[in-house]
Each structure stands twice: as structure tokens, then as C-alpha cells.
């Protein structure tokens, strides 16, 4: 408890950030994309520059042509109609020459300034070339430098002009063609470069777009991942929160659970101040089971919830109320100055719970409260004073023990409150712990006895009060301890019920009795005597088992006993405890043909409505009333009234504890025909009962049989020895 346990949800340490690696990849991708985009741009730029320069060259070339044409005009004073020949060459591309034959235009615009940077050797070469070949033919040949170009110009008239033209052509054409070819190839190169640029640019753009898309996709992925992670974290936090809530709270009422109340109690013990008390209350709702059974679980939950709310409201805000079981609660109140304060709170609590349920349903429901206080904290006083449930100590182990002690003590007190009757408040004292230990030991001893076969079934004859004829038997459980001797049922039936052992033990009694009586009846058949009936006592815990009826039916079938020969004896407490589910079981049982007896009638409730609401066949008048016959007018009045009531309601009255003939005759006179008691016989071991029957019925008595003694595996010794004299 407490230690190492925290209410807070915690993140798993060392859980790696799943997006860390993704982030690095993303960064790498982004850098790569940027590099690629930049690279593509650089390539495109270089190619663009190349293309631009070749374009510029081409442009320059045409500029030169134009310029040269103007030059021609200028040189000759250019009459219109004259023919001029122009030879140009681009010195940058040493062998690029172009021959242009042009009609000199009539009007020439202002000539451009001809300031070229053509290197002299090129110009000279051109001039020489032309001059050498056909200088004579030319009226004038002039070579000038133009802007970046050399131009040779020849003017000629008439036929000479034609000849000159032809000659110049002959010289220059191959050069021109060559240059043209070069131009073309350079054009192609430029075209290729252009295409390359286009392709590169397209690829670059495509790549850039692709990368951009990739980048966007990656960012989107990352964002989605981050969102998903955030969602997952949120869900995890919620889960942790709800798990922590579940681990510490009750789902139905939302109240703290046992674990949390133990933790709170621990804190309260640690916080204790001198002279202050801590009170622990254990609350158990009385009769809640009936609500569940009769109204269903949904209604039961509702009632529980309301009871919880009311109890919560009855406490002070700082107090803790926890639900620690189906209908069990624990309250912890600290800082009390006197026990009276705790009593008052406990009483408020008790009344608040009871009030709710009574308000809600017309059922007698209450709350039993057990109360325990811690000893006042006196730092100077040594620990371990007698009867103090809590020793103040610092170690966690001692704290845990103190908390457990307090809860157990409060539970013990609650048990005592229940034992005293419902709706009570009991304050813990040490004797209760002893009682609990005693109960625990008793249960262990009973279990051992059952396993060892020390439990066996005795049979008390039930007789016709008029004739004394044995009509049936009541099966009564016996415990004979090899050392302690016989232990009366009054001492161990309650233990069996508390511990749940009544379940297997009850089935053992039912099975043994049915088989035994069926066997006797088989033997009686030959004598012509009517079969014996068998009455078996069953407790509330047995009846409220869902398959009780099935168990009875199977036992009857197995023992080959007809249902009408079995009578199940229940007390009124069964009707009260198992009012819902039990009713159905009883109806079913009655439907099987099994008879039902209301035991110990006349003590406790003796409710008229129980008698006529439930399928009761037999009313067993309690032996304490029968004992009063002959000397208690009150008992006589009661017994005669019960007999009258039973007969009126068509229930058969049966008297228990008939010890005298006078009692028998009184009972008979009032109309009670059947009874049992020491007057006839006490509860006998099977073998003794057979002897008894033999004595009674002379020749008609059954023969002894192997089954007439308790089964050796169930009883280690002759049960007859254990019978009280
Ligand atoms: P009960 O069902 O009322 O049983 C009758 C009790 O009265 C028996 O006590 C019986 O021995 C006693 N008795 C019979 N005739 C006389 C008589 O003339 N005078 C007096 N004073 N007493 C007489 P026993 O056997 O001690 O049983 C006590 C109770 O234990 C039973 O009361 C019954 O409630 C319970 N019990 C016994 N066997 C079983 C069992 O198998 N299952 C359950 N659930 N309860 C059992
Ligand atoms: Ca009985
Ligand atoms: Ca009885």
C-alpha cells in the first residue's frame, strides 16, 4: 500500500521521439532539394550565357552587314543604281566571311560611326586577298575596319562590275560557304545549346517542382505525424488518467476505492496531531441484496449510488468516503477532538444510508456501522499500550500494518453491529478481534472436520401425535470431534454459514438424507408401510444460490426419492434475506413437488404475510413455545393461535420439542397432528433409527442395511457413540 504507488500518470522514460529520425531525413531532403534547384539554376544560367553569346555573335554579324552596306554607300558617294560588293568577315571567327551583293539604296540613312576594334592583320589579309586577285578590275577597293569587322568593298560599273563580282565571288565564295557552314554549325550548336538549355531548364524546373512537391509532401507527412503523435499522446494521457482513476476509484459511485482510502488513512495517521483522533468507520448496507434481487441490478445500482451520495453528504468535506465492496463503505475522519464527535458522525452516516433506502423502496433496509478510533497521538507516551489498535511508527511497514489493523477493526465492529441486529452502530473493542480470530479458527476446524468425515447426519423421527406412528424424519447435522466429542450445531452452523462452508456441507446433508430415506423406503415397500418423508434444514445462503433448485432436483433424481417425500425447512430469515431471488427458487422448488416448511415459527418475525405470500406447506412451531405448554398461558395462546392460523391458511402445523405426553395431547386437541421431540426420540444415527423403527413396528421394521450407518469415509467412528444420552 502507499509506497511506490503514485496517482499521477507518468510518461515512459526513454521513449524515443519517433519523428527525430524523420526530421533528420527531412532536413537532408530539403538540403538536397535546395542543392538540386540551385544546381539546375547554375547549369541553366551557364547554358543561357552560352546561347546568349552565340546569339550576340549572330547579332553582331548582321550588324556588321548593315554597317558595311552603309559603308559602301559612304565610300562611293553611292549613286543610286550602282552595284556594290561588300565582303565582310568577322575577325572573331577568323574565317567567317560573307559576301553581300547589294543594290545601293537611293537613300542612305545617317551612317553609324565606324569605330571598330578589328585587328589590323585580319583587315590586311582581306585587303590583300581581294587586291591581289582583281585589283585592276576594281574601280576602287577599300577595306575598312568596321565595328569588330573588316569590310572589303569594291565598286564596279557595267560588265566589269559583273566580272569583278564573279571574281570576288570565286575568291570569297568558298570562304563564305565555309563560313556559312561554320555559321550553320555554330547555329546548330547554338540551337543545341538552346535546346539543352531548354531541356536543362525544364528538367531543372521539373526537378525543382518535384522536389518542392516532395518537400511539401514531407512537411505534410511530418505535420500529420506530429498531429497523430499529439493525438496518441492525448489518448495515452486520457488512458493513464482513466486507469489511475480506475485504480483508485469505484466505477459506479466515483468514490475512492479500498486502495485509495487506505492511502488516505495512511496520510491521516502521518498528519496526526497531539490530542486529535482519527476515526475509521465500516458501513455495510443491510438488506441491500433484497433490493438487487427484487428490483434488479440497475435499480440496485441506483439505490447504491443514492446511498453513497447521502452518506457523502453526511460527512464533513475533508472526510473520505470509499466504496470497498458491493454494499460496503469505509469512512475516514481525522482531526477529531473527542470520541463523541466520531460517534455523532457515524450515527449521521448510519441514518443517512438507512433513510435513502427507506425513502426509495418499501423495504426494511438500513446500515450497520462499525467504528474504531486511533489512540490519541501522544508523542511522549511510549507505543504499544494495551488495546491500542495503532502504534505510531515511522516505518512504512508499520504504517501499512496500522492501516490494515484499523480497517480490520472497523470491519470487526461492523460485524458485531450486524450480529446485534440491523441498523446498529458498534464501537470496536479488543474482544471483537478475538472473536474474529475465533471465527477464523472455527471455520478452519470445521473445514478440517468435514474433510476428515467427522460430520454426519442424524435423523429425528417425526411422528403422528395421535398414533405415535413414524411418518418421517428430520435430518440434523452432527459434528463429532475425536477429541472434543460432539459439537452442537448451534456452535458451528453459523460458522458454516459465515465461511460459505454451508454450501458443500448442506449438499452433503441433502444427498445423505435423500439416499438414506430412499433406501429405507425401498425396504419399507415390502412391509406395505407408507414411505417416510425427510425434512432437511437449509440456510439462506443455500437458497440464494442461483442453482439451488437444480441441486435439489439432481439430488432427488440421484437418490431416487420422489419430490413429495422431501421437505425443505427454511427460517423466516431466508424469506427476508432472499426475498427476490429466493422467492423464485422457492416457487420453483414448490413446482417440483418438494414441500417447504417454515421452521422455528413463533419466534422472531412470525409474520402472517410470510405464511401466506410464500409457497409454505408446513409450519413448524418452535420448541421454545411448545416447552411452555402446560405452564405458560402466553405460550399456549400463541401455539393454539399458530395452529389455527396454519390450518386456516391450509398449512400443516408440526410441533417441535414435544417432551411430554401432556404437550402432545394439548397440541392434538388444538389440531396439530404431527410432531417431533424427545418424548418419541432424539436425533439418532441411522443405525439407531433403524433399531427404533424395529422396536416400534415389530415385524414391519426394515432390515438393517450397510447404509444404515454414516458412510465410513464421512464418519471416522460410530456416530451412535457420539449421541447424547
Ligand atoms: P431445528 O431445525 O429447529 O432443529 C431442531 C432442534 O431441536 C435440533 O437441535 C434437535 O435436536 C432439537 N430437539 C428435537 N427434539 C427436542 C426436544 O424434545 N427438546 C429439545 N429441547 N430439543 C429438541 P439441533 O440438532 O441441535 O439443531 C439445532 C439447529 O441447527 C436446528 O434447529 C437447525 O436450525 C440447525 N441445523 C441442524 N442441522 C442442520 C443442517 O443440516 N443444515 C442447516 N442449515 N441447519 C441445521
Ligand atoms: Ca428444522
Ligand atoms: Ca426448529
Q: What is the pLDDT of residues 202-227, one digit of tens each?
A: 787 788 888 888 889 989 999 999 99
pLDDT at 291: 77
**How many angstroms separate the CA atoms of 567 and 674, rounded?**
14
pLDDT at 9: 35
pLDDT above 90 as % of the chain: 46
Contact (Cβ atoms closer than 8 angstroms) between residue 370 and residue 282: yes
Helix (H) or strand (E) holding 369: strand 366-373
262 CB neighbour count, 10 Å cutoff: 23
Closest ligand, as measured to the CA of 626: 1
CA of 634 to the centre of ligand 2 (A): 23
Instruction: Ligand 1: list residues with CB < 6 Å.
Output: 460, 476-477, 488-490, 493, 506, 509, 537-539, 569, 599-600, 623, 656-659, 676-678, 683
pLDDT at 640: 97
Which protein residues have their CB within 5 A of the ion that is ligand 3? 599-600, 656
Low-confidence ranges of the chain (pLDDT < 50): 1-19, 76-81, 89-123, 126, 133-138, 141, 143-151, 156-157, 176, 380-382, 384-393, 698-725
**How many angstroms separate the CA atoms of 66 and 537, rounded?**
136
DSSP 8-state code for residue 362: S
Q: Which three cell numbers stand for residue 125?
A: 589579309
**Please, which residues bridge with residue 463 across strands?**
470, 675
724 CB neighbour count, 10 Å cutoff: 8
| Single pTM value for the model | 0.59
Q: What are phi and psi of 632, to 5 degrees?
A: -125, 110
pLDDT at 420: 86
649 CB neighbour count, 10 Å cutoff: 12
CA of 476 to the centre of ligand 1 (A): 6
Contact (Cβ atoms closer than 8 angstroms) between residue 84 and residue 74: no
Q: 566-588 pLDDT, tens per residue?
A: 999 999 888 876 555 557 778 89
pLDDT at 57: 60
- Would you call 156 helix, strand, or coil by DSSP? strand
Nearest atom in ligand 1 to 676's CA: 15
Question: Read out DSSP for 379-446?
Answer: TTSPS--TT-S-----SHHHHHHHHHHHHHHHHHHHHHHHHT-SS-EEE--HHHHHHHHHHHHHHHHH
CA of 577 to the centre of ligand 3 (A): 18
Question: Read out DSSP for 525-559?
Answer: HTTTPPPPEEEEE--HHHHTSTTHHHHHHHHHHHH
Nearest to 366, CA basis, from 300, 283, 432: 283
CA of 603 to the centre of ligand 3 (A): 10
pLDDT at 650: 96
Burial pattern 335-346, b for ≥16 Cβ within 10 A else e, equals bbeeeebbbebb
Amino acid at each position: 500500500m502507499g509506497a511506490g504507488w503514485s496517482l499521477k500518470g507518468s510518461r515512459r522514460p526513454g521513449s524515443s521521439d519517433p519523428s527525430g529520425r524523420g526530421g533528420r531525413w527531412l532536413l537532408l531532403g530539403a538540403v538536397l532539394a535546395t542543392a538540386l534547384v540551385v544546381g539546375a539554376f547554375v547549369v541553366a544560367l551557364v547554358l543561357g550565357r552560352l546561347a546568349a553569346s552565340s546569339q550576340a555573335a549572330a547579332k553582331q554579324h548582321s550588324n556588321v552587314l548593315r554597317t558595311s552596306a552603309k559603308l559602301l554607300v559612304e565610300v562611293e558617294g553611292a549613286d543610286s543604281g550602282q552595284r556594290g560588293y561588300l565582303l565582310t568577315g568577322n575577325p572573331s571567327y577568323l574565317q567567317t566571311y560573307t559576301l553581300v551583293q547589294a543594290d545601293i539604296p537611293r537613300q542612305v540613312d545617317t551612317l553609324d560611326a565606324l569605330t571598330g576594334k578589328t585587328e589590323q592583320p585580319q583587315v590586311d589579309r582581306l585587303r590583300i586577298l581581294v587586291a591581289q586577285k582583281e585589283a585592276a578590275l576594281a574601280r576602287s577597293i577599300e577595306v575598312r575596319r568596321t565595328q569588330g569587322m573588316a569590310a572589303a568593298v569594291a565598286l564596279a560599273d557595267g560588265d566589269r562590275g559583273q566580272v569583278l563580282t564573279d571574281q570576288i565571288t570565286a575568291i570569297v565564295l568558298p570562304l563564305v560557304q565555309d563560313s556559312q557552314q561554320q555559321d550553320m554549325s555554330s547555329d546548330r550548336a547554338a540551337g543545341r545549346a538552346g535546346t539543352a538549355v531548354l531541356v536543362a531548364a525544364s528538367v531543372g524546373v521539373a526537378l525543382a517542382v518535384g522536389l518542392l512537391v516532395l518537400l511539401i509532401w514531407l512537411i505534410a507527412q511530418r505535420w500529420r505525424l506530429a498531429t497523430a503523435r499529439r493525438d496518441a499522446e492525448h489518448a495515452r494521457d486520457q488512458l493513464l488518467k482513466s486507469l489511475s482513476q480506475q485504480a483508485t476509484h469505484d466505477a459506479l459511485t466515483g468514490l475512492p476505492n479500498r486502495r485509495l482510502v487506505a492511502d488516505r488513512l495512511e496520510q491521516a495517521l502521518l498528519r496526526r496531531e497531539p490530542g486529535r483522533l482519527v476515526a475509521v468507520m465500516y458501513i455495510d448496507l443491510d438488506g441491500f441484496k433484497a433490493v438487487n434481487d427484487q428490483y434488479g441490478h440497475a435499480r440496485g445500482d441506483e439505490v447504491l449510488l443514492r446511498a453513497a451520495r447521502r452518506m457523502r453528504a453526511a460527512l464533513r468535506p475533508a472526510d473520505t468516503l470509499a466504496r470497498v465492496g458491493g454494499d460496503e463503505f469505509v469512512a475516514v475522519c481525522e482531526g477529531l477532538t473527542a470520541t463523541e464527535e466520531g460517534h455523532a458522525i457515524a450515527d449521521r452516516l448510519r441514518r443517512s444510508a438507512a433513510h435513502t433506502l427507506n425513502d426509495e423502496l418499501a423495504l426494511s433496509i438500513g446500515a450497520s456501522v462499525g467504528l474504531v478510533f486511533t489512540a490519541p497521538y501522544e508523542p511522549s507516551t511510549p507505543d504499544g499500550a494495551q488495546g491500542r489498535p495503532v502504534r505510531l511508527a515511522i516505518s512504512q511497514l508499520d504504517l501499512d500494518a496500522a492501516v490494515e489493523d484499523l480497517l480490520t477493526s472497523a470491519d470487526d465492529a461492523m460485524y458485531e453491529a450486524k450480529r446485534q441486529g440491523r441498523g446498529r452502530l458498534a464501537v470496536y473493542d479488543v474482544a471483537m478481534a478475538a472473536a474474529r480470530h475465533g471465527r477464523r479458527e472455527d471455520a478452519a476446524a470445521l473445514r478440517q472436520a468435514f474433510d476428515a468425515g467427522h460430520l454426519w447426519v442424524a435423523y429425528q423421527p417425526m411422528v403422528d401425535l395421535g398414533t405415535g406412528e413414524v411418518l418421517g424424519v428430520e435430518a440434523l447435522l452432527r459434528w463429532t470431534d475425536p477429541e472434543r466429542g460432539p459439537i452442537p450445531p448451534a456452535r458451528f452452523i453459523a460458522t458454516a454459514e459465515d465461511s460459505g462452508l454451508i454450501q458443500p456441507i448442506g449438499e452433503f446433508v441433502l444427498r445423505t438424507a435423500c439416499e438414506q430415506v430412499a433406501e429405507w423406503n425401498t425396504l419399507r415397500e415390502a412391509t406395505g408401510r407408507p414411505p417416510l418423508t425427510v425434512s432437511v434444514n437449509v440456510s439462506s445462503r443455500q437458497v440464494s444460490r442461483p442453482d439451488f433448485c437444480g441441486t435439489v432436483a439432481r439430488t432427488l433424481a440421484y437418490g431416487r426419492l420422489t419430490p413429495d417425500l422431501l421437505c425443505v425447512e427454511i427460517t423466516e430469515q431466508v424469506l427476508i434475506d432472499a426475498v427476490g431471488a429466493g422467492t423464485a427458487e422457492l416457487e420453483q422448488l414448490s413446482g417440483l413437488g418438494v414441500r417447504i416448511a417454515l421452521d422455528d415459527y413463533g419466534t422472531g418475525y412470525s409474520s402472517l404475510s410470510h405464511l401466506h405470500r410464500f409457497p409454505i406447506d408446513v409450519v413448524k412451531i418452535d420448541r421454545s413455545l411448545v416447552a411452555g405448554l402446560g405452564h405458560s398461558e402466553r405460550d399456549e395462546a400463541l401455539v393454539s393461535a399458530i395452529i389455527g392460523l396454519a390450518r386456516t391458511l391450509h398449512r400443516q402445523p408440526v410441533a417441535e420439542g414435544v417432551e411430554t405426553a401432556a404437550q402432545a395431547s394439548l397440541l392434538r386437541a388444538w389440531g396439530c397432528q404431527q410432531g417431533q421431540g424427545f418424548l418419541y426420540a432424539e436425533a439418532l444415527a441411522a443405525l439407531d433409527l433403524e433399531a427404533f423403527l424395529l422396536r416400534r413396528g415389530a415385524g414391519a421394521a426394515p432390515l438393517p442395511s450397510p447404509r444404515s450407518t454414516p458412510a465410513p469415509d464421512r464418519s471416522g467412528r460410530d456416530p451412535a457413540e457420539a449421541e447424547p444420552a
